[in-house]
């Protein structure tokens, strides 16, 4: 028996992205309270956050065949409520090591959800003949923004992270049943490749250059998610609401920009859009790094949200257009080396924050933005013309 309401397939995709990120985003406005609960510094907290990234990497590498066997519908409908349960358990961790270990199954579940909803977005996009991928990721950001705002109010009300994340379990379960209860996966793309993707795709020089273009966005998005609430608390003695609002603000501006990103790219070119986003990202990063006033820091965080919105999708498109080897291999290479950067981000930024000050968790992004601007031309579609003579 199917529960839930009838919705067009693209709306179900948007709903899945929103529910998933609303669940995931509930943790990050509460990191200051979780840090205090464990009584640790930023370095130890950063190391513990690797648990989720490591679990996600394992899941993205090995979970595909298992999900195929279980079925996309059953996996998604189980994984979303399970994610809320795992988060509710993880926030009881008394130490960074326990937090790390409890975040690993969180990451494994996230990887399964990521595989299903991104594949579903691609298939629905193909089926309806209209691009929805950037808009789907905009709904991910809207979900994160909503979670940040709810987390801010809940923190200000003095509700503990443990109680907050426990309340999320029925909320996510009911939302999943209502909006995705009638979810049925779209058909496979006709004529798609049936070859298995390699476990590890060796990055070429051109892929490494693309990584340099999107690396500042990945590092600074991670800084905003993981450290902006702690930054506002430590630098400006912000109340719990205003600390949590910092997380929501970046996600909100990112969401709005992603919602219109496709039209920007169509009107101008990937290179022009990327340079514009990197410039905005650089201005935002410098504002956060140097901000003497709280409101200037919020402006900087808002600009960081805009700047991080579409650089990674642009790099993925450029990787797919390379003709030196199959598109799937180049996309896999970019995704894997980028995820390693995502994996190393939390401990690196945590170490920097603890030893040099929390402002430097953002300041490290300034030279990365300059590197991105230097290599932004790598996104140019004209490189597609550089074909390899031998097949």
pLDDT tens column, 28-50 = 899 999 999 999 888 899 889 88
> How confident is the model at residue 42, as a pLDDT?
86
Domains in the chain: boundaries: 7-183, 198-382
Of 4-13, 138-147, 339-348, 354-363, the one with minimum mean pLDDT is 339-348
Q: In the chain, what's the furthest Cα-to-Cα distance?
A: 65
- Return the number of other C-beta atoms located less than 10 Å from residue 305's C-beta: 29
In this predicted structure, the answer to whether residue 199 has a pLDDT above a threshold of 60 is no
380 CB burial (10 A radius; 0-12, 13-18, 19+): middle
Cα 78 to its chain centre, rounded Å, is: 21
- Shortest CA distance to 307 belongs to which of 193, 217, 241, 389? 217
Of 151-165, 264-278, 323-337, the one with minimum mean pLDDT is 323-337
Report percent pLDDT > 70 for the chain: 90
The answer to whether 282 touches 306, Cβ cutoff 8 Å, is no
Q: Where are the beta strands (DSSP E) in 266-361?
A: none
> How confident is the model at residue 351, as a pLDDT?
87
**Which of residues 3 and 302 earns the better pLDDT score?**
302
- Shortest CA distance to 134 belongs to which of 289, 17, 302, 307? 17
Q: Where are the beta strands (DSSP E) in 196-240?
A: none
* pTM, 2 dp: 0.81
> How confident is the model at residue 194, as a pLDDT?
45
pLDDT tens column, 5-14 = 888 888 999 9
CATH class of 7-183: mainly alpha
Distance linking the first and last C-alpha atoms of the chain: 51
Give the Cα separation of 34 and 50 in Å (integer).
15
Place of tokens 């995502």: 342
> How confident is the model at residue 368, as a pLDDT?
94
Cα 126 to its chain centre, rounded Å, is: 23
The answer to whether 30 touches 201, Cβ cutoff 8 Å, is no
In this predicted structure, the answer to whether residue 191 has a pLDDT above a threshold of 80 is no
Q: Which residues of 147-184 are buried (b: 16+ CB within 10 A; e: fewer)?
A: bbbbbbebbeeebebbebbbbbbebbbebbbebbbebe
Average pLDDT, the chain: 85
**Which of residues 125 and 24 earns the better pLDDT score?**
24
In this predicted structure, the answer to whether residue 195 has a pLDDT above a threshold of 70 is no
Question: Is domain 198-382 classified as CATH 1.20.1250.20?
Answer: yes
> How confident is the model at residue 325, as a pLDDT?
67
Taking residues 159-188, what's their average pLDDT?
90
């Amino acid at each position: 028996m199917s529960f839930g309401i009838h919705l067009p397939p693209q709306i179900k995709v948007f709903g899945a992205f929103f529910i998933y990120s609303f669940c995931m985003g509930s943790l990050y406005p509460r990191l200051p309270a979780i840090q205090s609960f464990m009584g640790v510094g930023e370095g130890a907290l950063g190391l513990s956050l690797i648990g989720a990234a490591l679990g996600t990497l394992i899941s993205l590498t090995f979970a595909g065949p298992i999900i195929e066997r279980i079925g996309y519908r059953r996996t998604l409908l189980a994984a979303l409520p399970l994610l809320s349960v795992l988060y509710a358990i993880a926030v009881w961790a008394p130490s960074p090591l326990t937090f790390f270990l409890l975040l690993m199954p969180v990451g494994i579940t996230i990887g399964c959800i990521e595989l299903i909803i991104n594949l579903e977005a691609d298939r629905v996009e193909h089926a309806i003949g209209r691009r929805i991928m950037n808009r789907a990721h905009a709904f991910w950001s809207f979900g994160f923004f909503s979670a940040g705002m709810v987390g801010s109010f809940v923190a200000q009300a003095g509700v503990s992270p443990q109680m907050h994340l426990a309340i999320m379990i029925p909320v996510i379960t009911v939302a999943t049943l209502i909006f995705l209860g009638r979810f049925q996966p779209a058909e496979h793309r006709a004529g798609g490749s049936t070859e298995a993707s390699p476990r590890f795709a060796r990055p070429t020089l051109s892929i490494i250059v693309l990584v340099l273009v999107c690396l500042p966005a990945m590092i600074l998005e991670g800084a905003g998610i993981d450290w902006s609430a702690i930054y506002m608390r430590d630098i400006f003695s912000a109340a719990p609401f205003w600390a949590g609002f910092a997380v929501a603000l970046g996600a909100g501006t990112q969401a709005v920009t992603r919602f219109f990103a496709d039209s920007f790219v169509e009107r101008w070119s990937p290179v022009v859009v990327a340079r514009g986003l990197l410039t905005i990202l650089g201005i935002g990063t410098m504002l956060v790094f140097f901000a003497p006033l709280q409101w200037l820091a919020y402006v900087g965080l808002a600009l960081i949200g805009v700047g991080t919105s579409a650089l990674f999708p642009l790099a993925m498109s450029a990787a797919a257009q390379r003709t030196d080897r199959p598109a799937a291999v180049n996309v896999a290479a970019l995704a894997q080396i980028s995820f390693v950067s995502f994996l190393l981000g939390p401990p690196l930024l945590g170490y920097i924050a603890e030893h040099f000050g929390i402002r430097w968790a953002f300041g490290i992004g300034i030279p990365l933005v300059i590197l991105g601007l230097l290599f932004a031309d790598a996104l140019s579609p004209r490189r597609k013309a550089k074909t390899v003579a031998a097949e």
